């Protein structure tokens, strides 16, 4: 899933670089030492913010129109930041999802006697089946 959010880039007066905030992602603030670094950090911070929401069962917030963003200073500017949520969640996603499945009783009995970790086996099988290893 790709998402696009407007971000406000503010040049830092006390040092080189930019502070980046997202009007649609409350509390999502980052900075970079250069404009290129600020864009990289912005995408990373916003992806983390949105991933936390998604892992908590919430929807990603709707993005404001870039033209509707009000700036406080004349040296600020608004730019769109693209979030690649699939790539980010593969790398950083932490939340486990509970899945129920059905197996034959005899297989369950033998597996429990062998102290099989059912979750680990399912994860290994899915990774192999999807060629993710």
Q: Are 82 and 108 in a shared domain?
A: no
CB 28 within 8 A of CB 46: yes
Asked whether residue 72 falls in the same domain as residue 107, the answer is: no
3-state helix, strand, coil in the chain (%, to 5): 40, 20, 40
Q: Are residues 9 and 59 in the same domain?
A: yes
Domain that holds residue 55: 2-92
Structure confidence at residue 37 (pLDDT): 96
The mean of the pLDDT values for the chain is: 90
pLDDT tens figures, 26-45:
999 999 999 999 999 999 99
Statement to judge: residues 88 and 118 lie in one domain: no
pLDDT tens readout for residues 61-89: 999 999 999 998 899 999 999 999 888 88
For the question of whether the overall pTM of this predicted structure is more than 0.85, the answer is: no
| pLDDT given at position 47 | 93
Confidence at residue 41, expressed as pLDDT on a 0 to 100 scale: 96
pLDDT exceeds 80 at position 97: no
DSSP per-residue string spanning 62-105:
PPPPGGGPPPSSTT-EEEEEEEEHHHHHHHH------------H
Residues 63 and 79 in one domain: yes
CATH number at residue 54: 3.30.160.250
How many Cα neighbours within 13 Å face the side chain of 76?
15
The count of domains in the chain is: 2
Claim to verify: residue 12 and residue 73 sit in the same structural domain: yes
What are the tokens at 32?
């970079």
């Amino acid at each position: 899933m790709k998402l696009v959010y407007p971000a406000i880039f503010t040049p830092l007066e006390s040092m080189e670089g930019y502070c980046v905030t997202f009007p649609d992602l409350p509390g999502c603030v980052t900075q970079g030492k250069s404009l290129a670094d600020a864009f990289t950090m912005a995408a990373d911070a916003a992806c983390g913010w949105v991933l936390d929401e998604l892992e908590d069962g919430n929807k990603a917030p709707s993005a404001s129109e870039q033209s509707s963003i009000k700036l406080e200073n004349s040296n600020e500017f608004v730019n769109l930041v693209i979030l690649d949520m699939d790539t980010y969640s593969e790398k950083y996603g932490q939340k486990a999802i509970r899945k129920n499945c059905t197996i034959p009783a005899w297989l369950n009995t033998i597996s429990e006697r062998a102290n099989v970790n059912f979750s680990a086996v399912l994860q290994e099988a899915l990774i192999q089946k999807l060629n993710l290893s």
